[in-house]
Amino acid sequence: MSLRTPALKSSSLHVPSDTSVVSSARRTVVAIVRGWDLPLAEDVVETLELLTGEVVANAVVHTGEGCRVTVSWDGTRVRLDAEDAAAGRLLQCSPADLDGESGRGLELVNALAHAWGCRPTADGKAVWFEIDARSPSTSGPTPESQVPSGSRTHVVTN
């Protein structure tokens, strides 16, 4: 008996520049992935939902514009790209102010995603992350020495 890997999948949505729609974007991404009937543990879906909210909120709050969200499946990982039109400095993970009300989003992404990064696009930048189909508690980030060059990127420069 052989295991079938679900076919490659991809779907995109536009998120307007209104922070009140971030939760709707999270739910939409989860609905898309559930609709694909992927072999994902519930905690993987919950992690996807959490990290989607973080990167979408960053794009909307820090650019004052909407963003294009693309979620895809490559047979082993779910990937989410949040692309905005704000050119400039690429994101990096930096320690949050202990008393601050914000600034922990990328720390969560760094801690929970299998891989993540930021890349320039023709019109701005895209923040992306990948989550392994296995439970985050068992898959965790791959040691940098075992990841193909460029995969475990925190900041990609021009």
Q: Which pLDDT tens digit goes with each residue over 29-84?
A: 999 999 999 999 999 999 999 999 999 998 998 888 899 999 999 999 999 999 99
Coil/strand/helix, residue 13: strand
**Model confidence over 135-153: pLDDT tens digits?**
655 444 444 433 333 333 3
| 3 within some domain | no
Range of the domain at 20: 11-93+101-146
What is d(CA 109, CA 46) in angstroms, rounded to the nearest whole number? 13
Instruction: Give the C-alpha distances (Å, rounded to integers) separating 17 from 33, 91, 120, 136.
Output: 23, 19, 20, 30
Closest C-alpha among 132, 105, 129 to residue 117 = 129
Structural domain includes residue 5: no
Does 30 reside within a domain? yes
Task: Give me the percent of the chain exceeding a pLDDT of 70.
Answer: 70
Query: Sorting pLDDT into bands at 50, 70 and 90, what band is 86?
Result: confident
Count of structural domains within the chain = 1
Q: In this structure, what DSSP letter does residue 14 have?
A: E
Q: Compute the average pLDDT of residues 97-120.
A: 78
The CATH number assigned to the domain holding 51 equals 3.30.565.10
Length of the chain: 158
Give the DSSP letter string of 80-141.
EEEEES--SSPP---PPPTT-SS--HHHHHHHH-SEEEEEE-SSSEEEEEEEESS-HHHH-P
Is 4's pLDDT higher than 70?
no
> Do 47 and 131 contact (CB within 8 A), yes or no?
yes
Pair of tokens at residue 39? 């072999």
Q: Residue 121 falls within a domain, yes or no?
A: yes
* pLDDT at residue 19 in the model: 87
Whether 156 is in a domain gets the answer no
- For residue 125, tell me if it sits in a domain: yes
Closest to 129 measured CA to CA, from 76, 82, 61: 82
Predicted TM-score (pTM) of this structure: 0.77
- Residue pLDDT, tens place only, 6-23: 689 999 999 999 989 999
Output the average pLDDT for the chain.
Answer: 79
Confidence class of residue 129 from pLDDT cuts 50, 70 and 90? very high
Query: What contacts 128, CB < 8 A, 6 or more positions away?
Result: 55, 79, 80, 81, 82, 116, 117, 118, 119
pLDDT category of residue 94 using cuts at 50, 70 and 90? very low
Cα 77 to Cα 113: distance, rounded to the nearest angstrom: 10
| pLDDT score recorded for residue 105 | 77
Confidence label for 89 from pLDDT (cuts 50, 70 and 90): low
